[in-house]
A and B are shown apart, each in its own frame.
Chain A
Amino acid sequence: MHRVLGDRRAVLLLLGPALLVYSLIMLVPTLWSLGYSFTSGNTIDGFTGNGLDNFHRLFTDPDVRHALWFTAKYAVAVTVGQVVAGYLLALLYVFFLKKASALIRTLVFFPVVLPTVAVGLLFKNLFQVGPQTGPVNSLLNAVGIESIDFFGSSGHAFWVLIGMDIWRSMGFYAVLLFAGLVDIPDEVLESARLDGAAGLRLIRHIVLPMSFPVLMSSLIFSINGTLKAFDSIIALTNGGPGNSTSPLTLYMFQTSFTYGDYGYGSTIALLLTIVCLLVTLVVFRVSRRDLTKD
């Protein structure tokens, strides 16, 4: 039946190069690094096998538990924030702005192109408490609230970090989700309107279900990015105060390269990979189930 589309040589020619490059750059190095999970040591001293010691350590290490908890909190907060803010923006573009949306879309998209270093410095300045009072604290002072040392406590630093990452990427998700909303046929919306659906009800019963697939794609995309967040955290808090905003990626990087324990670092990376995989599978499952219900 699919004689033409089942041509072996063609598949090999089309898929081969991508598979080769992907294997060489991603798969092999990953497996190679995973091999180190069963060793201790580093490039200077050499590696010696230590069986499952790293895994025992992984389960008892309070820093891992802390980093894992932070990663989870951070990923959930940022993912929800990004996708919700993006979705609201997309709704705004499609249903309220219409013609004028191009300019706003561009502006909101803008932070995506900013270098992380610059965004980090920007937010440090926005939220700084001393020696100069930053704009946010000035605002707080203006309404009679005392200045807050945002980077002095883990709670505040966490929220500034979340705010920064949502600000950075909501424009990107807005455009992505905008695509899904625009694709909803006009006739569907019109007939729903004729049936008397409007405002929130229209969104809940028509728009949301119809843009569900693209919403799911965004969610998977976002959670994978946030679980692996690295650059933006380094730029803003460098994991501090203490290690309170230190995610698994940072702990792994420090363990491998600063503390010189590459074997254990690889074990932490394995944990992170498994977490990513599980989360993606769960989201996939959920989206599948809902799709079949439609």
Chain B
Amino acid sequence: MNTDSSAARKKGRLAALTASTAALALFTAACGGTGGGSASAPKNFSYLTVNENSTVKTALGTLSKGRCADEHKALPLKVESVPQSGLDQKLQLLAGQDALPVQFAAGNAPALTEQLYKSGKIADLEKELDKLGVLDRVEPAAISTIKALYGGKMQVLPYEYNIEGIFYNKKIFAENGIEVPGTWSELTAAAARLEAKGTQPFSASGQLGWPLTRLISGYLYRSLGPDALQDVKDGKAKLTDPAYVKAARQVADLGKKGYFGKGVGSIDYDTSFNQFLTGKAAMLYMGSWALTNIADPKQNTVGADNIGFMPFPAVTGGKGSVDQYPSNVGLGITLGKNTDAKTGDWVTCIAENYGSTALKDQGSISGFKTSTDVKDANEVTGQVRKTISDSKQNVLWFEALFSTKATTVSQTNAAGLVSGSMSPKQFMQTVQDALSSK
């Protein structure tokens, strides 16, 4: 009996020993060596993107077979994609191993990209492009938008350059005798008229949230001027200030009156597009990337000619003006720090050819200049392109300068704001709290 138990005790110790040896092995594996060949030159022109975005992926693919075929031969393009929701996690994990690809989609909020930049994981593109002699291939407006977003540095490439505004159904407007609204009160009057006639005024994806919060920032920029949200970032103003809460109330009111239709919180991106492009809703707040969908007759059953584009309307007595378009560079694509001559060749080729290729093949507007003249697919595309090249001062969007946490909080609560389960004051308070907490 006695010998039995002492033998057993040894066994217990043995088990503990096995476990701790294993632990030791793991720790050494983890701490030893700072990464599998990350310092050496990349073997591929690797590009990590999100599933939801196929524009850049396709355009790069086209380039690799055409104008950039030589570069592709020297350093093959390799595209990997993850779901948008998994992007941040992937970037964190890869950055931890110093294993970020050559090019990758920036995180879901600019804050993550800035963090990567500060820790030296991504390149200063203004310098890089200047070194390669192709900085002049980028539209100045795009550069200024990027700098406004990323703390004064050019951290991403403008594979897309979008302005945002309201797309509307010309036919529905004409049938109801509605002029293109120039002010917010004209817009709400138009919406009231449409609602009364049984047409849903707006279509918006509450599941994503941002199509709703964009309306708040639109109102803020028009009423308080282009610095409205910079002031919040700098601590000069709070979202809970009456002028800010007023913007949220305006948007909440649209929801209260049922202008977004039923179940706005569970409407996804495709559904909101579908509602607008099949003529079930009269207006859609979107960016210029929507032109691709508008040009697709399979999705767009009302016809591209029946779609118009208007800037976010003015607020009477406000400090902003309608020609300050909210702009963005779509899914920001950054360049990792580890570059060499071959990647440089690739980037040069992209800077020279991407603009035309993307516009010609996909009708997508980028921040790169177009080298050849491309004919616009339809009237509204021409209108948007002209607006972009004419625009002088651009503004950002609601969450652009927020932390990742405040971004999430704002976008997940937006549906609650328009469905009335959250008061405007509550909404702004919640977002402000998330902003203030580190």
Q: Do chains A and B directly touch (beta carbons under 8 Å) in the complex?
A: yes
What CA separation (Å) do A165 and B408 show in the bound complex?
25
Structural contact, B262 and A23, CB atoms closer than 8 A: no
* Distance in angstroms between the alpha carbons of A179 and B280 in the assembled complex: 54
- Cross-chain contact of B415 among A12, A32, A241, A260 (Cβ < 8 A): A241
Contact B92 A152 (CB under 8 A): no
Given known pairs A6-B4, A43-B95, the reply for A11 and B11 (CB within 8 Å) is yes
Q: Which of B419-438 contact A (CB under 8 A)?
A: 419, 421-422, 430
Using CB atoms, name the residue of chain B closest to A149: B263
The reply to whether B262 and A131 form a contact with Cβ atoms under 8 Å apart is yes
Question: Hey, what's the 0/1 contact readout for B251-286 against A, CB within 8 Å counting as 1?
Answer: 000000000011111110001000100001000000
Say whether, besides A2-B4, A131-B280, A19 and B267 are in contact (CB < 8 Å): no
Whether the pair B115, A28 counts as a contact (CB closer than 8 A) is: no
**How many angstroms between the C-alpha atoms of A49 and B121 in the bound complex?**
23
**Chain A residues near B280 (CB-CB < 8 A):** 131
Contact call A260/B92, Cβ cutoff below 8 A: yes
**In the complex, which of the residues B15, B23, B112, B419 contacts A28, with contact meaning CB atoms closer than 8 Å?**
B23
Which B residue's beta carbon lies closest to that of A21?
Answer: B22
Q: Are B14 and A12 in contact (CB under 8 A)?
A: yes
**A149:B261 contact, CB within 8 angstroms:** no
In whole angstroms, how far apart are the Cα atoms of A219 and B152 in the complex?
A: 56
Which residues 233-258 of A sit at the B interface, judged by CB distance below 8 A? Answer: 234, 238-243, 253-254, 256-258
With a cutoff of 8 Å between Cβ atoms, the chain B residues found around residue A228 in the complex are none
Known: A6-B8, A31-B23, A242-B412. A19 touches B261 (CB 8 A): no
Assess whether A124 is interfacial by the CB under 8 Å rule. Answer: yes
Cα-based distance from A241 to B11 in the complex (angstroms): 53
User: Which of B89, B116, B261, B421 is in CB contact (< 8 Å) with A130?
Assistant: B261
Count of chain B residues with a beta carbon within 8 Å of a chain A beta carbon: 55
Cβ of A106 under 8 Å from chain B = no
Residues in A whose Cβ lies below 8 Å from that of B8: 6
Instruction: Report chain A residues within 8 Å CB of B271.
Output: 131
Q: For residue B94, which residue of chain A has the nearest CB?
A: A43
A 186-205 contacts with B by CB, 8 A: none
Q: Knowing A8-B10, A44-B95 are in contact, say whether A241-B265 is a contact too (CB < 8 A).
A: yes
Does B7 touch A at the CB level, under 8 Å?
yes
Complex contact B265–A149 (CB within 8 A): yes
A128 at the interface (CB under 8 A from B): yes
Give residues of chain A (10-28) contacting chain B, Cβ–Cβ below 8 Å.
11-12, 15-16, 19-20, 23-24, 27-28
**B residues near A262, Cβ cutoff 8 Å:** 92
Output the least CB separation between B365 and chain A (Å). Answer: 29
Q: Give me 21 A-to-B residue pairs in the complex whose CB atoms sit less than 8 angstroms apart, sorted by A's number.
A: A1-B1, A15-B15, A19-B18, A20-B19, A20-B22, A23-B18, A28-B26, A44-B95, A45-B115, A130-B264, A131-B275, A149-B419, A152-B263, A152-B265, A152-B421, A153-B421, A234-B85, A241-B413, A241-B415, A257-B88, A259-B404
Query: Using a CB–CB distance below 8 Å, which chain A residues touch chain B?
Result: 1-2, 6, 8, 11-12, 15-16, 19-20, 23-24, 27-29, 31-32, 42-46, 124, 128-131, 147, 149-154, 234, 238-243, 253-254, 256-260, 262
Shortest beta-carbon contacts, A-B, top 8: A43-B96, A130-B262, A129-B263, A257-B89, A130-B263, A23-B19, A151-B266, A242-B413
